[in-house]
A and B are shown apart, each in its own frame.
Chain A
Amino acid sequence: MFSKFIKKDSIFIKNKILIPIILLPVWLILYIYLEPIVNGMVYNTFGMNKISQITETIRFFIYEVPKVLMLLTLIVFVVGIIRSYFSPEKTRKALEGKPLFVGNIMASSLGIVTPFCSCSAIPLFLGFVEAGIPLGVTFSFLIAAPMINEVAIVLLFGLFGWKTALIYVSTGLFIAIFSGWVIGKLKLEKWVEPWVYEIKAGNLTMEEEKLNLNHRIDAGFTAVREIVSKVWIYIIIGIAIGAGAHGYVPAEFMASFMGKDVWYSVPLAVLLGVPMYSNAAGIIPIVQVLLEKGASLGTSLAFMMAVIGLSLPETIILKKVLKYPLIFTFVGIVATGIMIVGFLFNLIF
């Protein structure tokens, strides 16, 4: 039975790597020529007036949607392949016996690449805690995994450039390391539901599946199918809002309450962001509008991170394993971390 599996796969091994190799140049050419194509379409084919506001709005939309979707497809594919090299088991093994600070750094970094979905947060939490991984290190992982999101990286890179994407990843890492470390120092194990320590977690009885390059490329395509089919609509709506605001909202509209000189703008952005539940795909085009219309980088970053990284539904899921004081402490510390980042960026830029 099993040999049949292997045989069936080996026929395709040579083939599947060819798919991305053939598609990549096509992707590149399309990406490079996208702007001239769109411009030609809008100005020549449609014959629209170059300086009118409505032309700019339409051009912005027609250009940004395929650009962002193309970037998204490529990055999600690559991340899907990278993630196939990681698993919760390997991450747990790497974290076992690591001291607090080093553990926090490792857990946060692994949080970016380990495949994770919020519905697995509890099984993962149990698995980590049962293996003796400190609470603070576990939290670093649980904070980094949703906060540093590949879709967000793509959108920031596509809409603002690589510097902003890098700022996002490094500040996200900082918050995850910082918050986990503080939670570890506070020794809050007493606020974990007692049953967590009473269950007897077993070891996985199955061996980890051996993956060949073929499987990994499949994993990349699966990730594209799952993620792009879920977020494309948010991206289009977000860019449509962005395009509308791009042409019609006055440039300094946001400056009065989200500008860098308004000291309360950062805590306000976090306060507004936490109960809001949206995925990265929906929130970033909105952030783009905020920035363009005079909101400061620190405030916008804080708002975005509060929306993506701290969400009410996920926090409620954690109630199953954590008592309220720990949940409040967790939200409080992460919110503080986000605010530090916000203030810092408002100060620097």
Chain B
Amino acid sequence: MDILILGPGCMNCVTLEKRARTAVRELNINAEIFKISDYAKIAEYGVMKTPAMVIDEKVIFYGKVPSVDELKEYITKGVN
């Protein structure tokens, strides 16, 4: 499973990436996290408010930084 974090590199995006890594580790699932900061790429997903999370090419949420626990729910939901 590929998890993408979309964000140009502001504080929020960095926090989200960190939390996502923690969430994946705690869930103990096989997932790779990629950080996407290219604006054109972000636009391709139709995201206008960063940071956003994309799992297997689907936007899961955008414009917020959920807690690690919330992220776990998003990720498990995104897998199914």
Enumerate chain A interface residues (CB-CB to B < 8 A). Answer: 1-2, 5, 87-89, 92, 115-117, 119-120, 122-124, 126-128, 130, 195, 199-206, 209, 320-321
Contacts and interface: CB of A to CB of B under 8 A. Distances in A.
A340 to B, nearest CB: 31
Contacts of B80: 1
Nearest to B46: A204
Contacts, number: 83
B60 interface: yes
Contact of B12 (A89, A115, A119, A124): A119
B40 A123 contact: no
B44 to A, nearest CB: 5
Nearest to A4: B73
B42 interface: yes
B58 A205 contact: yes
Given A1-B77, A199-B43, A120 B49 contact: yes
The B interface, classified by DSSP as helix, strand, loop or mixed, is mixed
Given A1-B76, A205-B58, A206-B58, A200 B44 contact: yes
Interface residues of B, number: 28
Nearest to B7: A119
A174 B59 CA distance: 37
Task: Pick the 9 closest A-B CB pairs, nearest first.
Answer: A119-B10, A204-B46, A127-B48, A88-B48, A126-B43, A199-B40, A201-B43, A202-B46, A206-B59
B32 to A, nearest CB: 20
